[in-house]
Structure 1
Amino acid sequence: MSILSTRLSTTILSAPRSKINPAIIPFLSQVPRVKHYSISSMFRPSYTCDIDAEPLHRYRPGGYHPILLGDLFKDQRYKVIQKIGWGGNSTTWVARDQLHNRNVALKVSVSEKSSNNEAHVLNAISKLSEESLRQDHPGQHHLMRMLDHFTVDGPNGIHDCLVLELLGPSVPDVIESLYSDGRLPADFAKSTAYQALLGIDYLSSHKIGHGDLHSRNIVFALPNLASLDEVQFLEKFGRPETTPVRSVDGMALTAHLPNYIVRPISFHARGMREELRRSTVKIIDFGEAFFRSQSAVAVHTPLAVRAPEAIFDDRIDYRIDTWSMGCLLFELVAGQPPFDVVMLTRAILVSEMMEFCGELPDRWREKLDTIGVGRTEPVSDAPCTLLDWLQDIYFDDNKTPGFTRQDIAKVCELVTRMLKFEPSSRASAKEITSDLWFNGLKS
């Protein structure tokens, strides 16, 4: 029996992660969408809408700001022309910057957020990039830029608004649109990983932790998106589709809700294959980012790529990104993270970590019982090394390999250097990009 078959019962094999979110336009690679269900309350009427979108019950004081197409922000400078998507704490829109004649992404947070950490971190990164001594660091070009920051006062409170550069599709969306193998071609995967590593190296050099590094937060920047005028943009991606919001019990809508919901643009990368290969890779979504002086109290990185110190509630610093980057390099090459399993739990994850990465530090072994590892079944009947697992996935009969076995062995070596339990033992992004395997690549 192959290694692949022994792990079949627990591992997602070939389904792209983007299947979670098939319709969202990934200009900012929003977090996976949550299907909306109408939620009623004994204190207020419930509302419904035929479009699968952000939960309507979040349109309340403290929640989302009601936005309609054509709305103007900041003294009529930014005009809303389309919807990108939403997350748990914001909705994001394509807006026309009428001062600079360019398209931007407008991210409007819920009003209950007392401060915007993302704006704080992005502003600090912008200032660092302006310093002459750092102009030659290639990693600064692989981070999302904030263009403006302001607040808006609406019926649900005061909302932070970030104006961000309008980028392109995320890694999972590109794979879903273009590659039936469920993974990027070899040269494309290698270049993507290299550019993401440069971005992490830049953050690490300033002791900044991203805190949410995964494939949906790696996107391809398409500069022409910003330069299209409003007519061209709508011709390319279609006119917005809207559906009225209705009250279930027939009561009139309140000012807390929009009159209609806009369906996010369905973006597909078909016809953009070569353009994507030439595009710049950028890291986005700094909502979980933190400075060295802060030290993150908790992280919400997807469990499959979460660093072990976060699993064991240990001290967290910027080196959690190195662990996540090791998982990301594996995923870019193989098409799935090393620990990605069905119904993933902390116990299963830790069991697989121990299988691939060796003995846990003593201070964590004492916590195994609280996680439940002692009560879980073995992942497989026979020991499986990380190289065995990577080779079994990559050279699957149903997929076309682009890397050689020597390449795969090197990838495994690089991943292993980053997947060390002790943060101080992990190879830095700088050390990984300096490996001869990446020679000849440009930032």
Structure 2
Amino acid sequence: MPSDNVKGLLCDVEAEPLARYRQGGYHPVRLGDLFKNGRYRVIHKLGFGGYSTVWAARDEIANRNVALKIETSETFSTSRELEILQICSRSQNEPGSEYISKLLDAFRHDGPNGSHHCLILDILGSNVPAVLDEKFEGASLPREVATAVIKEVLCGLSYLHKQELAHGDIHTGNICFSAPSLAAATEGELLRILGSARIGEVYGQLEQSHTQGIPEYLVWPSHVPVTDVSTRTPIKIIDFGQSFTKSTKPRTLKTPLVLRPPEVLLDDDWDRHVDLWAAGCTIFELITGQPPFDSIMATNETLLQQMIESIGELPPMWQDKVPHDHSQKDTSTLQEWLEELVFDVDHPPEFRQEEVKEIGSLIGQLMRFNPSERISAGEAYRIWNSHFP
């Protein structure tokens, strides 16, 4: 099926929407395009998001493969990702920094749709959902992988908070496994790994004359092979497009709905404590393979009801905002749900009862309703490391 229809244009590639190729939108890219005076040459496509496209590129000077992230022009004056990564690049020797996506270079690129921030980042391997889908059929990660990933996420989050930074979008999709072999591969080796680039011509009739701002073709995103978790490499926390400092907090939080804390759902004041709630949800999912709350047809109201049923009463400051029928309790507590998912399996559970109690306790301390009562990422890391060194 065509992926989009813009003023009469069509393309059979399921990729970024053609409608976003306009003034303020995506920069049109062709395979082989050169950036920064010829230093970076595009060789494949890695993916796309609402505010960027991401490409595998060859650094002709450093003789290695990198990820080239080209942000939309409309975010040129408002994007915080470059600022956040630059702050991180000034403290790369501090504990936890090794689990943060590394900014290798950054520059401005002017194109037919405006000016774009271009970020050069490490080229990484699979994210957690891809590993789960392809290696474990959507189940949970093996014990030794899950416990190590959780420790590294908490360590990385602690590092960010010490820099007075908030990630703003912590979830399993933003946790990738490192892939040093991809960076070191020759161009031919990388193309064998990613597969040959497939393109789909943009065709049809425009209501207006064709402009340079619309690409000649779209490229199918490559398939990065799933990391072999039996010889696991460390993780990297990626995607800082929603990150913020104290003075640059966005007006809205775009974290997936089921990971948003109650202060966001209730449109109350919020800060970097949102990361702690999301970390608790992420730990739950890394252990069980499922998020703690039901995401089917979720709304702010239904999520708040689930939270009340599984965690407890809201603080007095919020109780008048959420009417609750105490007679309708039909869900498990968060601890009961955690234990059910860990132990109700058709194979020997990977965690002991006392370990699951400790894991549930830590999740509960991160997912306290009152943001100021949540334990810090550093304290969560110390607790986790004491149980799973």
Q: How does 1:44-443 map to 2 (within 5 A)?
A: 45-113=7-75, 114-129=77-92, 135=93, 137-180=94-137, 182-248=139-205, 253-269=210-226, 272-275=228-231, 277=232, 279-368=233-322, 378=328, 381=330, 384-398=332-346, 401-435=349-383, 438-439=386-387, 441=389
Contact conserved, 1:311 with 1:346, CA < 8 A, in 2? yes
Identity among equivalent positions (%) equals 39
TM-score by length of 2: 0.94
Q: Using the TM superposition, give the Cα deviation of residue 339 of structure 1 relative to its aligned residue in structure 2, in angstroms.
A: 1.1
The CA deviation at 1:195 is 0.3
1:325-351 superposed Cα distances (whole Å, 9 cap, x missing partner): 000100000101101321111111101
1:76-113 per-residue CA deviation (whole Å, 9 max, x = no partner) reads 00000000111001111001111101111111111112
Give, in angstroms, the shift of residue 38 of structure 1. 2.5
1:105 and 1:59 map into 2 onto residues whose CA distance is 21
Task: Tell me, yes or no, if the aligned pair for 1:253 and 1:259 is still in contact at 8 Å.
Answer: no
Instruction: Give the drift of 1:253.
Output: 3.9
| Structure 1 contact 92–108 (Cα < 8 Å) conserved | yes
Cα distance in structure 1, aligned partners of 2:333 and 2:294: 15
The aligned counterpart of 1:23 is none
* Alpha carbons 2:53, 2:71 under 8 Å: kept: yes
CA deviation after TM superposition for structure 1 residue 74, in Å: 0.4
Give distance in 1, aligned partners of 2:139 and 2:319: 36
**1:226 Cα deviation (Å)?**
0.6
DSSP-derived class of the 1:68 partner? coil
> How far apart in 2 are the matches of 1:123 and 1:342?
38
In structure 1, give the amino acid aligned to 2:177.
F
Find the aligned partners of 1:438 and 1:254 in 2 and give their Cα distance. 60
Contact 2:97 2:159 in 1 (8 A): yes
Q: 1:213 to 1:436 in 2, by over 3 A?
A: closer
How big is each residue's C-alpha offset from its partner over 1:310-368, in whole Å with a ceiling of 9 and x where there is no partner?
Answer: 11112211111011000010000010110132111111110111112222122222322
Cα distance in 2 for partners of 1:54, 1:153 equals 20
Residue 67 of structure 2 aligns to a residue whose secondary structure is strand
Q: Which amino acid in 1 is paired with 2:48?
A: W
C-alpha distance in structure 2 between counterparts of 1:83 and 1:152, whole Å? 18
SS in 1 for 2:74: coil
Between the aligned partners of 1:329 and 1:360, the Cα distance in structure 2 is: 22
Counterparts of 1:399 and 1:286, CA distance in 2: 38
Deviation at 1:36, TM superposition (A): 6.6
Indicate the residue corresponding to 1:38 in structure 2.
4
Residues 112 and 213 in structure 2, CA contact (< 8 A), matched pair in contact too: yes
Summarize the alignment of residues 4-23 of structure 1 with structure 2, pairs less than 5 Å apart.
none
Question: Matched residues in 1 for 2:73 and 2:372: separation?
Answer: 39
Structure 1's 303 and 250: CA in aligned 2 closer, same or farther, altered over 3 A?
Answer: closer
User: In structure 2, the residue corresponding to 1:61 is in which secondary structure?
Assistant: coil
RMSD: 2.1
2:87 corresponds to which letter in structure 1? A
Question: Alpha-carbon deviation of 1:250?
Answer: 9.5
> TM-score, normalization: structure 1?
0.83
In 2, Cα distance between equivalents of 1:396 and 1:252: 61
Structure 1 Cα separation of the partners of residues 252 and 234 of structure 2? 30
Give the counterpart letter for 1:417 in structure 2.
Q
Could you say what secondary structure the match of 1:39 adopts?
strand
- Distance in 1 (CA, whole Å) between partners of 2:352 and 2:242 is 37
**Contact 2:47/2:55 (<8 A) preserved:** yes
2:379 is aligned with what amino acid?
E
Tell me the amino acid that sits aligned with residue 387 of structure 1. Answer: Q
Out of 81-90 and 285-294, give the one that drifted further.
285-294
The answer (yes or no) to whether the contact 1:175–1:182 under 8 Å persists in 2 is yes
CA contact (8 A) 2:3 2:15 kept: no
Give the superposition deviation at 1:146.
Answer: 0.8
* Counterpart-to-counterpart distance in 2, 1:436 and 1:38: 46
SS at match of 1:226: helix
Please tell me whether the aligned partners of residues 46 and 249 of structure 1 are also in contact (alpha carbons under 8 angstroms): yes
Q: What is the number of equivalent residue pairs in this alignment?
A: 388
- The question of whether the paired residues in 1 share the 8 Å contact of 2:151 and 2:384 is answered with no
Measure the CA separation in 1 of the matches of 2:242 and 2:8: 32
Tell me if structure 2 keeps the 8 A contact 1:410–1:437: no
Secondary structure of the corresponding residue to residue 357 of structure 2: helix
Q: CA deviation at 1:398?
A: 4.1
- SS at the partner of 1:128? coil
* Closer/same/farther in 2, CA of residues 116 and 403 from structure 1, 3 Å limit: same
Distance 1:229 1:293 in 2: 43
Secondary structure of the 1:435 match is helix
Residue by residue, what CA displacement relative to the aligned partner does 1:10-48 show, whole Å, maximum 9, x if unpaired? xxxxxxxxxxxxxxxxxxxxxxxxx974234xxxx3211
Structure 1 segments unaligned to the other structure (5+ residues) = 1-34, 130-134
- How far the C-alpha of 1:206 sits from its partner, in A, is 2.2
C-alpha distance in structure 1 between counterparts of 2:287 and 2:184, whole Å: 33
Change (3 A) 1:437 1:76: closer
